[in-house]
Amino acid sequence: MPTITTKDGTEIFYKDWGSGQPIVFSHGWPLSADDWDTQMLFFLNRGFRVIAHDRRGHGRSSQGGAGHDMDHYADDLAAVTEQLDLKNAVHVGHSTGGGEVVHYIARHGESRVAKAAILSAVPPLMVQTPSNQAGLPKSVFDDLQRQLAANRSQFYFDIASGPFYGFNRPDSKPSQPVILNWWRQGMMGGAKAHYDGIVAFSQTDFTEDLKKINVPVPVMHGDDDQIVPYADSAPLSAKLLTNGTLRTYKGFPHGMPTTEADTINADLLAFMKG
């Protein structure tokens, strides 16, 4: 398997297909690079080089017990871009991956970055704090950790069957293959990484990171997102970005890159070519 090794010895698995301008995809919690297969094939067939990695502790990457925080996630992404010598890259992040992209650009600069896009992403800050009263109470995320520790397999099946793709809505048409593929990816990863990752995606404040980014960034978010509530995320991120554009998708769920791939891919392509 193709991997790169980080400074602390973590092996990061990655996919690297094609040639042309690179698009680098960062996946959501608790998934893997496989969650981007539809996008990777779409852009590969349109002349782009497509790269996606499994975050540390996820998928086929090392399952060490430490380093499951946004600083390490961003540094691992930087290690991938540097060791593959990616230049003029477009970074696309979904959910936790959107936070990873934002933190990577703010922490490592824009010398290798042409553009970025964040989809259903966790910035600016998910958890409720004195300065972020609209956020979700910490107890919500504590309960996620409790469910993961009690029965990770059932917990992942329930998320995929319900709120992640909006399959709990009355007019939805649940897809068992989509549900099982989400469950499969989650169970490939490590319980410790996923447990710690809940803190990483919910309690990291990306406000100052967003302010540091100058490249164009569409903030793409469905208004029926039950995982990362729309009102407390996308509009706020778009305002904090120097060159951000808010794109709101009526009725789309958190997992819109999968369930609404035709729309999302077309909009990303227009952005890539714009």
Q: Which residues are catalytic?
A: 95, 225, 254
Whole-angstrom distance, CA of residue 105 vs CA of residue 23: 14
* Residues sharing a CB contact under 8 Å with residue 24, sequence separation 6 or more, in sequence order: 51, 52, 77, 80, 81, 86, 89, 90, 91, 92
In whole angstroms, what is the distance from residue 258 CA to residue 261 CA? 5
Residue 204 CB neighbours (<10 A): 23
Region of residue 225 (left: phi > 0; alpha: psi -120 to 50; beta: else): beta
Strand partners, 7: none
CB within 8 Å of 88: residues ≥ 6 apart: 21, 22, 112, 114
